[in-house]
Chains A and B, each alone.
Chain A
């Protein structure tokens, strides 16, 4: 991941979410929310993952980047909250809003770098085999962790939302709260 200004990240995220939103046939009335969600997700990832310095009231604050794994998770979390907030207003499943928005966070390059190295273990000259083997696991593990992070991030707000709605509905109906199986 390279250091770019946040507006550039935002624009790239918007472009990514717009492309996948259209590919996934998101209803046109929801596309704008979806696109902005993608921008927010990718911009958040950039802010969390990378090192920054801020100047505020004459003081300089340093932010130590958490790395791309945490960055992608927090980005997906923010996109998930964004999707849930709008889903009530727009009366739609929140996944329609949040899933295309987090697709730009999916580690495509790491995934195929892992598989490319897997192919290379058999292919390159013997001295490079070990490096290819290590790279397979390194990139594969990274991709897996990022994907799990994205999913947890985007699922958590939806789960909390569903749980809160269930409690609200039960309270409105005067039913005692109990765990449903």
Chain B
């Protein structure tokens, strides 16, 4: 097999992981595992990782072959990270061939969404309901936080699939979530009154804006933030700085969406 084709397989391994939200150490280890499968000596493989590009140089009998690949979309897909690790571990142990590696990469790369869309939206809604509970929200605040999150996430995923800019998508999603969750402010008194009349004895809502605060928490970029410090601690300083820039911009977009919504609805304090 030509070194150029081996290089393509290494780049494919790295690009799948980089686009799925793996940290730099994991990407590097996976690429060197793939190099072992391809019988490339580790000291002949040189790797340069960047936020969106992977560059690999392989020494091949006195000359160097270098290629790089750009990753189009950065997302989070644990199915690919987990599937890749298992496949590589198995192939390293069994001494697989390059063709097997190629077909495994194809299989892992085609792993799609494991859960139906409605379950995803419902689960994230309930997650924000949980956050609202921890923040001390009343029953109606929790309900409107869940509704706001679900609407916002629905809009976010629609815009994301339409290929809209990430930061504007987040901004619009935060705006929509805020507006829906802010319905708690006029609705909490009658709703809790109704529940009390039904004999449920729920506590009064002392902080109705908590629904708004909780409804945007699903947009907080947790994986980029954790990867940031993972990378900084492991010595991938530029990678970490790139990730923290993206995470900060996302949080800033969330704030922008919220500020617009809160000013339009004239809510002053959260």
Q: Which residues of A contact B65 (CB under 8 A)?
A: none
What residues of chain B lie closer than 8 Å to A103, measured between beta carbons? 222-223
| Residue interface mask A5-20, B partner, CB < 8 A = 1 | 0001101111111111
Residues of A within 8 A of B (CB): 1-2, 4, 8-9, 11-28, 30, 42, 91-93, 95-96, 99-100, 102-104, 106, 108-109, 111-113, 115-116, 119, 147-148, 150-152, 154-155
Q: B interface, how many residues as a size bin?
A: 35 or more
Given contact pairs A16-B130, A25-B76, A147 touches B229 in the complex (Cβ within 8 A)? yes
User: Which 9 residue pairs are nearest across A and B when measured between Cβ atoms?
Assistant: A19-B127, A15-B130, A151-B229, A12-B130, A108-B220, A103-B222, A2-B136, A115-B255, A108-B217
Residue of B nearest to A112 (CB): B255
Contact B79 A27 (CB under 8 A): yes
B135 at interface (Cβ–Cβ under 8 A)? yes
What B residues does A100 contact at CB under 8 A?
78
Is there contact, CB below 8 Å, between B270 and A113? yes
Minimum CB–CB distance for B186 against chain A, Å: 22
A28-B89 contact given A8-B133, A104-B131, A147-B229, CB 8 Å threshold: no
| Secondary structure of the B contact surface, majority rule | helix
Which secondary structure dominates where chain A touches chain B? helix
Indicate which residue in A16, A19, A104, A151 contacts B226 across the interface (CB closer than 8 Å). A151
Say yes or no: is B33 at the interface (Cβ < 8 Å to chain A): no
Question: What's the least CB distance linking A60 to chain B, in Å?
Answer: 27
Q: Which residues of B contact A (CB under 8 A)?
A: 21-23, 26, 76-83, 85-86, 89, 113-115, 119-120, 123-131, 133-136, 213, 216-218, 220, 222-223, 225-226, 228-230, 233, 251-252, 254-255, 258-259, 270
Q: Give the chain A neighbours of B131 by CB distance below 8 A.
A: 12, 16, 104, 108
Q: Is the CB of B134 within 8 A of A12?
A: yes
Q: Is the CB of B259 within 8 A of A119?
A: yes
Are A24 and B78 in contact, with the CB atoms below 8 A? yes
Contacts of A1 in B (CB 8 A): 134
A32 to chain B, nearest CB (A): 13
Chain A residues near B22 (CB-CB < 8 A)? 95
How many angstroms between the C-alpha atoms of A21 and B80 in the bound complex?
13
- Distance in Å from the Cβ of A139 to the closest Cβ of chain B? 12
Assess the B135–A116 pair: CB atoms within 8 A: no
Give B256's nearest chain A residue, CB to CB.
A119
27 pairs of residues in contact across A and B, judged by CB atoms under 8 Å: A2-B136, A13-B130, A15-B126, A18-B123, A18-B127, A19-B123, A19-B124, A19-B126, A19-B218, A20-B222, A22-B115, A23-B124, A25-B78, A25-B115, A26-B79, A91-B86, A93-B82, A95-B81, A102-B226, A112-B254, A112-B255, A116-B258, A116-B270, A147-B226, A148-B229, A151-B233, A152-B229
A29 to B126 CA separation, bound complex (whole angstroms): 21
Output the least CB separation between B73 and chain A (Å).
Answer: 14
Of B85, B126, B217, B218, the residue contacting A109 (CB under 8 A) is: B217
CA distance A147 to B225 in the complex (A): 8
- Give bound CA distance, A13 to B127, whole Å: 8
Nearest Cβ distance between residue A44 and chain B, in whole angstroms?
A: 13
